[in-house]
Structure 1
Amino acid sequence: MAIRSNPRQRGQLVEQATARWLAERGLTLVASNRHAKGGEIDLIMRDGETLVFVEVRHRQRQDYGHPLETVTAAKQRRIIKAARFYLHTQRLSCPCRFDVVGVTGSHSELEFDWIRAAFDAY
């Protein structure tokens, strides 16, 4: 996978690669890049009966830390708000969880670190 220099394109390619990687592990893609006031959900997937809201964080190098370290409490609140909005607009009531996937590297050398149930809605 070629990672382009445009940050938006790079982000989309990394999210697509992450969705494929998670699908290889049994999840099914439902939606991607869902926006709501004040937040965005990168990937929405199904893991059996559970709806999974996935935050994808990418860094080509770890000189300034691992991408998983960038999911702050404020970021979690924005993701939770967007997830609630999604559930409301889709009229869904089902088990949910919030996962985070840290992606490092570039091109075909991507490495994935997946944290299931990384945080809870409060």
Structure 2
Amino acid sequence: GTVTPKGQPGNDKPRMFRLPEAKALINRLGFNNEGLDSFIANVKRAYRFRAAGGILGLNIGKNAATPIENAVDDYLIGLEGVFPHADYITINISSPNTKNLRALQSDEALDALLSRLQQRKLQLE
């Protein structure tokens, strides 16, 4: 799942639905998670997986309460937190359940976000 800087409950339950006839699953989780610090503690416990050659990808997002104009700050916090522990990092900008998040999908907004994250990644390397 997606980790955000601060823990948040996500959407009200039920938030997962099976469509057996279509062999499909709908999720409306809303980035429910315990926050970055708890997430990193859990990831550190999986060190054997990476030591055995496993590839670990981690997924970062913005908190629902963070205004869209400050979204880059949440993604930078997430990047800085997960960077030492991930083989690759995904950036979740597609949750229809997070207010205004899809605004980051415009060419201009996405370019600005990715540029800031790339700059910070280069500093972390």
TM-score of Structure 1 vs Structure 2, range by shorter chain: 0.3 to 0.5
Larger Rg: 2
Say which structure is richer in strand.
Answer: 1
TM-score (norm 1): 0.36
